[in-house]
Chain A
Amino acid sequence: MRRVAIAGVGMYPFGRHGELTATEMGATALRAALAQAGIRRGEFQATFCATAYGGVAAGHRVLSSLALTGGPIIDVEAGCASGGAALGLGAAAIESGQYDTVIVLGIEKMPKGIIRSSFFPSWMEAAGLAATPAYFALRAQRLMIEQGITSQDLADLVVKNRANGVLNPNAMFRSAVTREQVLGSTLVCDPLHLWMLCSPNEGAAAVVLQRADLAPAASVRLLATALRSHLPGSVLDESTPLAGLSADQITPPSTLAADAAYEEAGLGPTDLDVIECQDTDAARELLTWPELGLCDGGQQPQILAEGSFALGGRLPVNPSGGLLSKGEPLGASALGQVVELVHQLRGDAGPRQVESARVGLAHTIGRGANASVTILQAAEQGALGGR
């Protein structure tokens, strides 16, 4: 268990913000987090800034604009898990005794349209083998045949998350949708329709980490952070290139990260009250549930039908509306999940509050492949049973 607490959080809503720069969005989020934590200039020792498209010294620009430079500022890139990676580095630095108070920041302003990156070998792009949504669809097709998921289930997942997004002022899409509307949206690549895909966008999130004994008593505790990459040979784990081994028993990075985080936190999936997980596309979230041990593969349709993972259900997943409602600014998305969980665990999440949430888990998976899992606990929680 980590002796680290989250003393304050801040966010710049995810969306499209015209000419506003990532630096400006980051400054707004950071100012809010510092104010909440009561931390001023000179009262923190280091900054870890997650960004994938921010360019050179992106974190420096944010801290410069607030006249907060002087300490170490380190940019962190780990694809969709960049925020989780930065959080882990910040927490480890505090645990090691190097620092007492650390800023973890995520900023992003993504180009519109299909994500282009330097990630795939150029010949694959030239050959049309590297288009992102197609890649998600390959995995979705496999999930459908292996775990009995239907197009309706994919649509229902979107319905669930978009319903939550209606209640989130920080979300990009704040209207509820129906299964018919989702299935009626443009077919991008079978089985994925446009509304089953999250939008790359812009935004920022900031977290102030502090040694637990120095943080305010009401602070949420950081129980575990884990970052893992794909094992060699796997093909559909967001790894490169799209070639490898035909073995299907390679443990996915999300499971590797989750197992490590559960062990570190001394608890298991049954101890969780609220989840924020990667829903880059509808199938991604349905695949994530069994990867995190939240259910067995094949149980997803029943869970959707019974509303078990909806707000008000047994284990609400993505009460924020998820990336399907918020969009995904890569560097900021994982910290956006942490911000949401902090609100949930402090009990100030407003109309989307998960009742008596005590333990929350945030999960991202993306390019690399990189998977991060973060487990948080509300303040004044008694000892957990663990596993």
Chain B
Amino acid sequence: MNTPRECHSAILSIGVAAPSLRLPAAQVAAGWGRAGGRGQVAVCSPSEDALTLAWLAARRALDSASIPPEEIGGIWWGCTRAPFAEGPSLSFLGAALRLQTNSEAALLSGSPHAGIDALLAADDAITSGRVRTALVIASDSILPALGSGLEAASGAGAVAVLLSAEGPALLGQVTTQWSPVLDRYRGDLETETREVYDGRLFREQVFLPLCQTVGSALTADPSSRWSLPDPDGRLGRTLGERLGSVKVVSTAARSELGDTGAAAPLLGLAAAMGDPGTLIAVGFGGGRATAISIQINAPVPGSSLVEQHLSGGQEVSYTEALRCRGQLSASGETVEMAVPPGSAMFVRGSHEMLALLGARCLACATVNTPPNVHPTCISCGAIEFEIVPLPLHGTVQTFVVNQTMPAPFVAPLPLIVLDLEDGSRISVQGASDGSDLHIGVAVDLQLRRYALERGVPIYGYAALVSTASENTIERPSA
């Protein structure tokens, strides 16, 4: 008998992020000489990955709650494949989010169930009183095995929620069921996720039994709205029918982005958090299934922006998607950049690069950036500073679109000199193809992956032309 236990924390706000590219399933089919193919999946551009998506979703959740990052007591990040299989993925993300460096932090991984794991771990931290406000992020960018059915099913996306003791949405019952079975997986030293061995066996013996068990254990009524896992584009619907033809609200996000792995359970509910009532998320992965109910008492801040932040995206061909995923690359050497990413330069400069920090002169208030190359104020020569975060928006002073770039960079690559509101002038990459740029236009900065240098991701900020809605959430009117 599966008896649910109770969660005790509440959701303060939500943010979501989708990558910038969309791959139609028909393109994948055509790539393998087959007809047909329905739907689409989201694909990360070369400058996006599970970390940059996590950052964007988290920023949006923070902005919607109007909570400054220094008030966050801990970060719980669920991700099937963080950028470092072993390494500083979590501290990179925490630095880029400008969290306190002594905040609690945990990276949950190992399967798409990691998103639920992150939510439950953060709930424990809130419930126990260790942390007042917790940031929960679930993001994924699955790299599907070539030729497998996952290619037309696995997508990418991110969701973030802020948890606290009280809020407009309350976490309720939760229950888990697991079984030591081999579902889709990726072995050590493997880069691509393998498809399940036998689709029918997986459906009838693994997926449906586990998910049904947890789903039916929760107290639900006909008006409850569900987010159901849907790894192949069909199982979600079947599960909904087996649970009693429940009302499934995760279909829209699934259709837009594909299976978003660890992000799927919460991402599927994100848009529905604007309407009061009961929501239930079912997460699945690694032979584990968990269901959790959420009671929405008032619209969750950020939920009204979900649809807009998930839609759009530029359609790409199969070959372009393969290039972006790193599964298709030219042979030969790439240009080796100046120094290894583990060198002193990166060690000293990485926090200020990830968090986009400046040094404000205590004598004349000039902001010097980056701090580690300015031990002396460029305006007055003084040597005492306070470290300050730079604004994440500014105005294009000048820009150029590089039409030829040596690998590992990809042309066209915009390079932008930006005037920030605090009087500093910095240079960043552009995140678009540059066709929308002009001198004087307002831009927002987003964390992006600049390059993979000797296998190591290098992150920095890239500029995108501001949209009205981004401006709204960047500068809350409250």
Contacts and interface: CB of A to CB of B under 8 A. Distances in A.
A122 B397 contact: no
Given A123-B353, A236-B398, A242 B426 contact: yes
Contacts of B460: 127
Contacts of B404: 186, 188-189
A243 B370 contact: yes
B247 to A, nearest CB: 47
Interface in B402-418: 402-406, 409, 413, 415, 417
Contact of A138 (B338, B339, B400, B409): B400
B337 A243 contact: no
A380 interface: no
B401 interface: yes
B397 A246 contact: yes
A141 B399 contact: yes
B255 interface: no
A123 to B, nearest CB: 5
Contacts of B370: 241, 243
Interface string A182-197: 0000111110000000
A190 B426 CA distance: 20
A142 B450 contact: no
Interface stretch (B124-132, B297-305, B340-348): B340-348
A137 interface: yes
A350 interface: no
Contacts of A247: 423
Contact of B429 (A129, A236, A241): A129
Contact of B458 (A127, A133, A135): A127
Nearest to B399: A141
B419 interface: yes
A267 B451 CA distance: 52
Given A236-B398, A241-B373, A245-B366, A129 B343 contact: no
Nearest to B418: A246
A134 interface: yes
B37 interface: no
A137 B424 contact: no
A134 B400 contact: yes
Interface string A319-344: 00000000000000000000000000
A216 interface: no
A242 B416 CA distance: 10
B339 A236 contact: no
Nearest to B410: A128
A138 B419 contact: no
Interface residues of A, number: 39
B176 to A, nearest CB: 43
**In this complex, which of A121, A123, A135, A246 has the most chain B Cβ atoms within 10 angstroms of its Cβ?**
A123
A348 interface: no
Interface in A294-352: none
B420 interface: yes
A186 B397 CA distance: 25
B26 to A, nearest CB: 34
Contacts of A133: 402
Given A126-B338, A126-B451, A141 B425 contact: no
Nearest to B339: A122
Contacts of A233: 366, 378-379
A242 B370 CA distance: 10
A246 B423 contact: yes
B349 interface: yes
Interface in B350-391: 353, 366, 369-370, 373, 378-379
B91 interface: no
Interface in B67-126: none
A123 B399 contact: no
A243 B451 contact: no
B453 interface: yes
Nearest to B366: A245
**In this complex, which of B337, B345, B378, B425 has the most chain A Cβ atoms within 10 angstroms of its Cβ?**
B425
Contacts of A263: none
B427 interface: yes
Interface string B427-440: 11100000000010
**In this complex, which of A121, A134, A241 has the most chain B Cβ atoms within 10 angstroms of its Cβ?**
A134
A126 B426 CA distance: 16
A52 B313 CA distance: 47
A169 interface: no
A128 B427 contact: no
Nearest to B346: A123
A125 interface: yes
A129 B373 contact: no
Contact of A126 (B339, B369, B400): B339
A121 B458 contact: no
B401 to A, nearest CB: 5
A243 B425 contact: yes
B427 A243 contact: yes
B399 A245 contact: no
A127 B451 contact: yes
Contacts of B369: 243
A118 to B, nearest CB: 8
Q: Which 4 A-B pairs have the closest CB atoms?
A: A122-B338, A242-B427, A137-B400, A232-B378
Given A126-B346, A128-B409, 10 more contacts: A114-B406, A122-B337, A125-B338, A127-B460, A129-B427, A188-B403, A190-B401, A232-B378, A243-B370, A244-B425
